[in-house]
Amino acid sequence: MPRPLMNTDADAASSGQLRPRPTKSVARDRLLTTRRSATYLRAIRELDAAGHVAAVDLARIVDDFRREFEDANCSTPVGIVSRCYLGAPYEVHTLALDGSIVEHYETGKQLPGGLERARSYAMSVAFDAIEVYPDRLVCVRVDGSVVALEGAE
């Protein structure tokens, strides 16, 4: 019987080189891949309302986003990037869920904290929002369905 080319667990054990087995991640590291709720989609669309969002409305919007992920016991994105409909010179806006900050970015202005990699997807009319995680992007379509992009750069 031919011997496998790859180092299998049996080979590693017989050679005394045990490799750690990957462990299952905790639930909070899971990615929410189900369709986003109507509440979530409404909150995304409210970010452009009247040019800026009042502090009280922003707190409710951030709560809506957090609840979407907490109810499913999944990890929360570090930020959300979406197309800005305020008009020139603005192109995209961001929502940072940790600090509840909404900022509108002009064309060519760099987005902070790893959010820049979501800009080109956010500019697409196919998506309402791009959720940015440390290791991936999740593109939310207009109907609430999602596309996860592993290791998106």
Residue 61, domain extent: 27-150
Please say whether the beta carbons of 29 and 75 come within 8 A.
Answer: yes
Mean pLDDT of the chain: 77
Q: What is the pTM of this model?
A: 0.73
Query: What DSSP state is assigned to residue 6?
Result: S
Residue 16 lies in a domain: no
pLDDT tens digits, residue range 41-73? 988 888 766 455 665 577 888 888 888 888 777
DSSP code at position 144: S
Query: Does residue 4 fall inside a structural domain?
Result: no
Residue 130 lies in a domain: yes
10 assigned to some structural domain? no
pLDDT of residue 72: 79
pLDDT digits (tens, 9 = 90+) for 118-140: 999 999 999 999 999 988 999 99
- Of residues 127 and 24, more confidence is placed in 127
Which stretches of 20-146 are DSSP H helices?
38-46, 55-71, 119-122
Mean of pLDDT values over 70-94: 86
Please indicate, yes or no, if residue 17 is contained in any of the structural domains.
Answer: no
User: What pLDDT does residue 54 have?
Assistant: 63
Number of domains in the chain: 1
Q: Tell me the β-bridge partners of 148.
A: 138
**What pLDDT is recorded for position 56?**
55
Quick one: which of 62, 59, 139 has its CA closest to 95?
62
Section 83-111 average pLDDT: 84
Could you give the CA distance from residue 69 to residue 64 in angstroms, rounded to a whole number? 9
Contacts of 21 (CB under 8 A, 6+ apart): none
The residue with greater pLDDT, 83 or 19, is 83
The pLDDT of residue 61 is 83
Q: What is the pLDDT of residue 144?
A: 94
- Assign residue 36 a region (left: φ > 0; alpha: ψ between -120 and 50; beta: otherwise): beta
Q: Is the residue at 90 inside a domain?
A: yes
